């Protein structure tokens, strides 16, 4: 199978799982379909040459975050009551807003990548996006030179070192905040 | 180079997330739809990082961290609200309604 075929199979799996996720009455089933979406997305990341992101997608999202969701759902024992899907007025609003948003995003996605090259005034005669964007070519060469993780670690720990350290403070604040909020009495 | 199709899939996933937020009243499912939207944005970043350099993948890393922090605090808030109203249904959470 070619990469395109695999991509379209995975994309179909992700979209069907996402639709089932918002359509299921039982929150546990919703959470499991969301896990399925995230696994399909992780496989798509591998196809898009982002192996490190694929790994942390499975570890952090499908592993940690969704386990937290399932834990809270089962702790609260929700889903036994009647359906929580809104009435017809809201459904029409959701469809209209969804169609409008999808149209806008479709038009936006048509702008890239050749359009981006035209906008930035660097469209090559060949029209290949990689010729117009040297950073993209460098991004494709870097994993071969220093490994998949090394290619991400360099910008992460050089250019983005301060945001990275601030992220650790954010995580600490979130952990302390979650404990304070969830505790009955301090 | 699957840039165009990946952007379309990302747009569709984001729209499904928005539709979920509008359709559901269960606060936990609402949070899951927000995670779906964050995932769609991550897919955009990864797809464009093929063309625009590896910075996109670094930003996906930060988005994931913020999403994990948001899920932890949000679920703690839902837990506190559940203790107060015995429900996670948004129609029962109307403290700010005039």
pLDDT tens digits, B53-89? 888 899 999 999 999 999 999 999 999 988 888 888 8
Distance CA A176, CA B73 (A): 9
CATH number of domain containing B72: 1.10.287.3510
* Same-domain pairing of A7 and A47: yes
Residue B62 domain-assigned (yes or no): yes
Cβ atoms B40, B67 nearer than 8 A: no
Which domain does A71 fall in, by range? 1-81
User: Which has more confidence, A121 or B45?
Assistant: B45
Of B32, B43, B79, the CB nearest to A69: B32
Cβ atoms A184, B82 nearer than 8 A: no
User: Which has more confidence, A140 or A66?
Assistant: A66
The pLDDT of residue B71: 92
CB contact set of B14 (below 8 Å; sequence gap of 6+): A101, A105, B36, B37, B40, B41
In this predicted structure, the answer to whether residue A31 has a pLDDT above a threshold of 50 is yes
Rounded percentage of chain B residues whose pLDDT exceeds 90: 57
* Same-domain pairing of A150 and A105: no
Rounded percentage of chain B residues whose pLDDT exceeds 70: 98
B97 beta partners: none
Which domain does B40 fall in, by range? 3-89
CB contact set of B41 (below 8 Å; sequence gap of 6+): B10, B14, B63
Name the pLDDT band for A126 (thresholds 50, 70, 90): very low
CB-CB under 8 Å, A7 with B71: no
In this predicted structure, the answer to whether residue A128 has a pLDDT above a threshold of 60 is no
The pLDDT of residue A113: 59
Distance CA A68, CA A61 (A): 10
Interface confidence: ipTM more than 0.85:
yes
Residue B97 domain-assigned (yes or no): no
Name the pLDDT band for A105 (thresholds 50, 70, 90): confident
Distance CA A180, CA A145 (A): 46
The pLDDT of residue A1: 77
Q: Which of A100-114, A171-185, B53-67 is predicted least confidently?
A: A100-114
The pLDDT of residue A116: 63
Q: Domain count of chain A? A: 3
* Same-domain pairing of A149 and A162: yes
The pLDDT of residue A132: 61
CB-CB under 8 Å, B47 with A48: yes
* Same-domain pairing of A140 and A183: yes
* Same-domain pairing of A112 and A145: no
* Same-domain pairing of A146 and A108: no
Cα A90 to chain centroid distance, Å, stands at 26
Residue B12 domain-assigned (yes or no): yes
* Same-domain pairing of A148 and A185: yes
Cβ atoms A84, B89 nearer than 8 A: yes
Residue of A nearest to B80 (CA): A182
A85 beta partners: B24
Of B8, B9, B73, the CB nearest to A178: B73
In this predicted structure, the answer to whether residue B45 has a pLDDT above a threshold of 80 is yes
* Same-domain pairing of A6 and A77: yes
In this predicted structure, the answer to whether residue A167 has a pLDDT above a threshold of 60 is yes
The pLDDT of residue B50: 83
CA neighbor of B36 nearest in space, from B10, B8, B58, B56: B10
In this predicted structure, the answer to whether residue A29 has a pLDDT above a threshold of 80 is yes
Cβ–Cβ contacts within 10 Å for residue B87, how many? 16
Helices (H) and strands (E) in chain A, counts: 10, 0
CB-CB under 8 Å, B13 with A68: no
Residue A88 domain-assigned (yes or no): no
Of A44, A52, A171, the CB nearest to B43: A44
Residue of A nearest to B51 (CA): A136
* Same-domain pairing of A70 and A4: yes
Cβ atoms A16, A43 nearer than 8 A: no
Q: Domain count of chain B? A: 1
Distance CA A149, CA A155 (A): 11
């Amino acid at each position: 199978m070619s990469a395109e075929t695999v991509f379209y199979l995975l994309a179909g799996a992700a979209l069907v799982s996402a639709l089932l996720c918002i359509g299921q009455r039982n929150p546990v089933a919703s959470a499991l379909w969301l896990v399925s979406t995230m696994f399909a997305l992780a496989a798509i990341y591998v196809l898009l040459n982002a192996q490190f992101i694929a790994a942390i997608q499975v570890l952090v999202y499908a592993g940690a975050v969704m386990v937290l969701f399932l834990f809270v759902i089962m702790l609260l024992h929700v889903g036994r009551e009647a359906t929580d899907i809104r009435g017809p007025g809201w459904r029409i609003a959701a469809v209209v807003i969804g169609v409008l948003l999808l149209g806008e995003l479709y038009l936006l996605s048509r702008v890239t990548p050749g359009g981006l090259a035209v906008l930035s005034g660097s469209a090559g005669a060949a029209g290949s996006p990689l010729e117009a964007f040297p950073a993209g070519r460098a991004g494709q060469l870097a994993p071969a030179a220093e490994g998949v993780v090394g290619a991400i670690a360099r910008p992460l720990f050089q250019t983005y070192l301060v945001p990275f350290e601030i992220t650790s403070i954010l995580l600490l604040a979130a952990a302390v905040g979650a404990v304070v909020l969830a505790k009955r009495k301090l | 180079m699957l840039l165009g199709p990946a952007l379309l899939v990302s747009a569709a996933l984001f729209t499904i997330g928005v539709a979920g937020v509008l359709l559901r009243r269960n606060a936990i499912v609402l949070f899951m739809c927000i995670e779906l939207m964050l995932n769609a944005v991550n897919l955009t970043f990864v797809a464009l990082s093929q063309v625009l350099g590896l910075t996109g993948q670094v930003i996906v890393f930060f988005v994931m961290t913020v999403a994990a922090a948001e899920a932890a605090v949000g679920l703690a808030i839902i837990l506190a609200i559940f203790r107060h109203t015995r429900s996670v249904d948004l129609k029962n959470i109307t403290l700010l309604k005039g």
